[in-house]
Each structure stands twice: as structure tokens, then as C-alpha cells.
Amino acid sequence: MKDLRRLLALYRPYRAWIALGIALSTATALSNVALLALSGWFIASMALAGLGTQLFNFFTPAAAIRGLAILRSLARYLERLVTHDATLRLLSELRIWFYERLEPLAPAGLRIHRRGDLLSRMRADIDSLDNFYLRILAPSASAALSLMLLTGFLATFSLPIAAVTAAGLLIAGVGLPLLMLGLGRRAGGQAVALRGALRAAVTDGTRGAAELRAFGATPRQTARIDALSDRLIDRQRHLARLKGVSVTLSTLTAPLAMVAALLLAIPMVGRGDLSPPDTAMIALFVLAAFEAIATLPPAFQALGETLAAARRIFEIADTPAPVADPSAPEPTPTRHDIRAKGLCLRYRPQNALALDHLSLHLQQGEVLALKGLTGAGKTSIFNAILRFHDYQSGSLQIGSTEVSALSGAQIRGLCAVVDQHGHLFNTTIRDNLRLARPEADDAALRRALEDAALWEEVRAFPRGLDTFVGEAGARLSGGQARRLIVARALLKDAPILLLDEPTENLDAASEDRVIAALRRLVAGRTVLLISHRPRTLALADRVLTIDKGRVAAPSPKDRGARLARA
């Protein structure tokens, strides 16, 4: 019920659309029942009139039948139009709502989730929520309204007939679906989880296809995907069997209710309490009434799977942000030197300190390089500066303002980042650059590319700035991709620059071009550089060695190199 209430709360802004869709769905169901019942009454009356046993007004019911036929078609068209339009609007808003809660978790809060599983939650699970309005909420509300109105109409003729019909409708529309919901809840939840696991496995297999082939692990990955697929199909087959049983029992309930209604109506005809045409109308009315609740069994069956998908989405949405912005951030600093004093950072309570009372001072306009073994804590300094992780004690300041007193948006507005894993989106060069400055014109893009020594190559592409870079920049060489990331940082023109192994995994020629671009990028900025490559370290004014989360004492070799640069 908690998940159901939360879903209803998310849908509240569209309650007018939802109400209109329910009203049109109810109108469709009622017009359908009325059309069949009135047609039965009309045919029976015509037959009796032909035998000369009664007289009746031919034109009024004939016009009503035509009107109901038109109303049913029009209501059905408008109902499909409104409900599907509302569903698409809801899904788009749900994706935005989910992303707004996902974005503050990156990167620290998302590391426990696999990428494929996150993608499944963002796409498949949210897509599953279209069931809630289109196949659950609107049909259930429409069926409830129709049931009350239909049984109320029958009660004007006979309370026992109305009671029998209501009982049949409740059995077919509520009793059987609730039974099937209980039987299918576990399978529905398992189907959602298996679907997410299957998408994650397929994503991993696609992204890591080269490594799988290199290590001969492709058959194992294929077998794992096949096993997940077989388990998913088994759960789906179980749900399909339940649906078949539900539909069969629901279909049998309708004629049984009609027979019971006739058994009650026939004695009333003998007593003169009911006319023969009314008896025909009631029989067809009861039979058609079950079409008004025909959507309830699949709605209840879809409810289990939909709520399971909702729980997976709420699990992410309810995750607290690993770093909370201050309620009243300090003004953005105008000086951009960085000072750490006794800085301690631990990623998890059970982990060792990643930064252990680290102290350093990076002056404004200085290029400070950090080197050290993997796991020494270099990247942890970046994480603390960018507020990707909170530090537990000590001080970290930009200018004279504590980093923890600034919002993440303020910090990231001051900083530009270039690293070996910098992401390029599967769109054009122009769009990838404008990620840094959306309002930048082509002249500004060209200047950034020229400073990154990439303009001539981009101009030679057939589509120039409109060239698609491919997934993660796959259509560019390693050096071109890295220089495009440098150009993006140049376009942002941030006063603080964080460089994390910017020339890693490049050949000598590409490294030369990237270093030349970096030399223009670091000019006049406060720069913190992580690298172990001597040619990249040559960009720095100073070099510090980080060891076990602390600044290590400089070795004689480091002191000699510093004196040589001086």
C-alpha cells in the first residue's frame, strides 16, 4: 500500500487527465452495455409487435441505438487518445523525477549498482509503470464506477437480479483477480528482478566482448545469459498460465450470472412484474456488464509486476545523497588557492583512511603535480575537492572558504576536470563541447579546438563540428578524444583545473599533441595534476609524492629536480 500511495502521489499533477480518461473509459463501457441491452429489448419488442401482442414507439429506440453506437465509437477513440497521451506525459515526467534523484548520488552512491541494472531501472522499470495508469488505475476506477451504475440500474427492475449480477461481477472482477494477484506476486517480482539482471548481463557482455573473447570466456557469459533468459521465460510462462486460468474462470462467470438472472426474471414475467422485452434486455444487460470489468483481471495481474518495478525505482530514489549540500552555502570564493590541513577521508566506516591527516597548499595560478602508487590517495584529493565524497575531519579550503560550506554546484562551477576516463557522449563534436558552455557559438568552439590543436582535424571531417563521435568517442582516435576533452575544459574556462592522468595510454605522438594543448590550458589557472609520466609532470611548478594518504617527504631526487627547474 505504501508503494501504491507513492505512485498515486507521483501521478497527482496529472489528475485532470487521469479523471478524463476514467470518465471516457466508463462512458465507453456503459454505452457498450446499453447498446447491447437496448438492441435486445428492441428486437424482442419488434417481434411481439409483429405478432400483434403489443404496440411501441419504433423511432425513439432506433435513434437511441444509433446514438449509442456513435457514442461508443467516439468515447473509445477519445479514451485511447487521452489515456495514451497521459501515459506518455507521465512516463516522461517519471524519468525526469527519477534522474533528479539519481544525479545527486553520482558517483559515490551509485558504485554499488551495476550499470546495466541502473539502465534497466531507468528504462524497463519506468516503462513498466505505464501499466499502473493504462492497465491498472484507469480500468479499475472505470470498472468500479460501471459496477455501481449497472447494478443500480438493475435494482430498478429487481433487487435479487441486481444482487446476483453484482455478486458475479465482484467474483469475476475482484475475487479472481485478487486470487491471481496472490498467486502471481512472487513470480511478478522475480520477473522484474530477472529482467534487470538479464539486461545487466547483456550490457556487460556487449561492452566487454573483446575481453571475453581474449580470455575465452564468451561461452561462459553466453551460458549465463541463457540461464537468466530461461528463468525469466519460466516466470513469464507461470504468469501466462495464471492469466489463462483467470480469463477462463471469468468468462464462465458471465453466462452463469446471466442464467441466474433469467431464473429470477422468468417467474416475474409470469406474475406480470416484468415484460418479455424487459427480460431479453436484462439477460443481455447482465452478459454485457461483464465486459465492463473484463480489464480487471489483467489489471490485478499487472499490479504485482508494476509494484515490484516501483520498489526498485524507489530503492534508488530513497537512497540518501552521500554528500549533502549546506542549507545556506557560503558565497562563491573569489580567490582560488587550495589548502588542506589535517584532511581525513574514509569512504566507508570499515575501510582504512584514504586521506590520513593530509596537508598541502596549492597557490593561485600554480601547477602542483601529485604522484604516487595506485591507491595512495591521489584521486581521493580530487573527490574531496569536487565534493564527490565528504571528508570526516580536518580542513579543505578554496580561498578562505571551507569546501564543505559550498554547494556541489558552486564547486563544480569553479572546476574543470580532464582525466583519462573523461566521457564523450554519443552525439556530435559540437554537442560534446557545449556540455561545458551551452550558449557557446561556433566561433568560441573553434577557438577552443584551435587551442587544443584539434581544429584542423575537425575541419577535415566531412561534417565538421556535426561529426558524431560514437559511443564513448569510439570514432575518434585516443589522442583526438583526449584533446576534445581538453577543448571542452578550455571552453568552460574554469579558474581551477583538475588533471587526472590526462596523457595515460597515449602513444608518443598523441601525447605530444595533448601536452601542447594542456600547456595552453593550465596557463593562469590553479592546477592540480595527477600523473606518473615525466613529460606530463614537466608541466608542474612543484611535484609532491602521496603515500598512504599523506604527503611524503621529498626524496633527494625530487629535491634535485626541483632545483634544476628553478
Kindly report the CATH number assigned to the domain that includes residue 123.
1.20.1560.10
Identify whether residues 358 and 297 lie together within a single domain. no
Strands annotated E in 140-200: none
Is residue 330, in this structure, part of any structural domain at all? Answer: no
pLDDT for 112: 67
**Range name among 43-47, 55-59, 368-372 with the lowest pLDDT average:** 55-59
Q: Are residues 188 and 296 in the same domain?
A: yes
Q: Are residues 353 and 470 in the same domain?
A: yes
Q: Is residue 322 part of a domain?
A: no
Give the pLDDT band (50/70/90) at residue 200: confident
Claim to verify: residue 505 and residue 441 sit in the same structural domain: yes
Residues 357 and 313 in one domain: no
Cα dist from 148 to 26, 292, 493, 531, whole Å: 11, 11, 66, 74
- Give the pLDDT of residue 206: 83
**Residue 553 pLDDT level (bands cut at 50, 70, 90):** low
Provide the grid cell at 376: 595512495
What is the structure's pLDDT at 434?
92
Given 269, 287, 317, the domain boundary residue is 317
Pick from 14, 152, 17: nearest CA to 93: 14
Q: Do residue 346 and residue 480 come from a single domain?
A: yes
Residue 206 lies in a domain: yes
- What is residue 402's three-state secondary structure? strand
> Are 279 and 397 within one domain?
no
Residue 327 forms part of a structural domain: no
Query: In the numeric block, which cell numbers belong to residue 175?
Result: 475475487
| Cell digits of residue 529 | 595534476
- For 458-500, the pLDDT digits (tens) are 999 999 999 999 887 888 888 888 889 888 988 888 899 999 8
How far apart are the C-alpha atoms of 122 and 94, rounded to whole Å?
Answer: 9
User: Which residue, of 285, 317, 349, is where some domain finishes?
Assistant: 317
pLDDT band at 397 (very low <50, low <70, confident <90, very high): very high
CATH code where residue 489 lies: 3.40.50.300
What is the phi/psi pair of residue 358, to 5°?
A: -75, 140
Distance from C-alpha of 240 to C-alpha of 305, rounded to nearest angstrom: 13
Q: CA torsion, points 290, 291, 292, 298, in degrees to nearest 10?
A: 100
Read off the pLDDT of residues 323-358 as tens digits, 9 standing for 90 and up.
888 889 999 999 999 999 999 999 888 888 999 999
Place of cell 558524431: 468
Task: Please measure the distance between the N-terminal and C-terminal CA atoms of the chain and give it in whole angstroms.
Answer: 70
List C-alpha distances in Å: 264 to 48, 156, 157, 166, 281: 22, 14, 11, 14, 14
Predicted confidence (pLDDT) per residue in 131-149, tens digit: 777 777 888 888 889 889 9
Following CA atoms 394, 399, 402, 405 in sequence, which dihedral angle do they give, to the nearest 10 degrees?
-170
Residue 562 pLDDT exceeds 50: no
pLDDT at 560: 42
Whether 325 maps to a domain, the answer reads no
Decide if 329 is inside a domain: no
Q: Around Cβ 145, how many Cβ atoms within 10 Å?
A: 18
In which domain, by residue range, is 51 found?
2-317
- Domain identity same for 183 and 222: yes
Cell of 355: 586521506
Express as a percent the part of the chain with pLDDT over 90. 32
Structural domain total, the chain: 2
Contact 134, 83 (CB under 8 A): yes
DSSP H or E stretch at residue 45: helix 15-50
| C-alpha to C-alpha distances, 331 to 338, 382, 401, 403, nearest whole angstrom | 16, 21, 8, 11
Mark whether 165 and 241 lie in a shared domain. Answer: yes
220 and 350: one domain?
no
Examine the domain organization and report whether 310 and 417 are in the same domain.
no
Output 84 or 565, whichever has higher pLDDT: 84
Same domain, 549 and 424: yes
Q: List Cα–Cα distances, 175 to 25, 250, 288, in angstroms.
A: 22, 10, 19
Listed in sequence order, the DSSP H helices in 418-477 are 429-434, 442-451, 455-460
Predicted pLDDT at 566: 45
Placement of cell 498515486 in the chain: 8
- At 197, the pLDDT band (50, 70, 90 cuts) reads confident
Is pLDDT at 192 greater than 90 in this prediction? Answer: no
512 touches 446 (CB < 8 A): no
- Is the pLDDT confidence value at 563 over 60? no
Per-residue pLDDT band at 117 (split at 50, 70, 90): low
My answer on whether omega of the bond before 107 falls inside 30° of 0, hence cis, is: yes
Q: Return mean pLDDT, the chain.
A: 85
Q: What are the beta bridge partners of residue 543?
A: 369
State the CB neighbour count (10 A cutoff) for residue 320: 9
Q: What is the pLDDT of residues 10-21, one digit of tens each?
A: 778 778 888 898
pLDDT at 115: 67
Supply the DSSP symbol for 428: B
Q: What is the DSSP letter of 566?
A: -
Residue 105, in any domain of the structure: yes
Distance of alpha carbon 243 from alpha carbon 248, whole angstroms: 9
173 in any annotated domain: yes
pLDDT at 303: 73
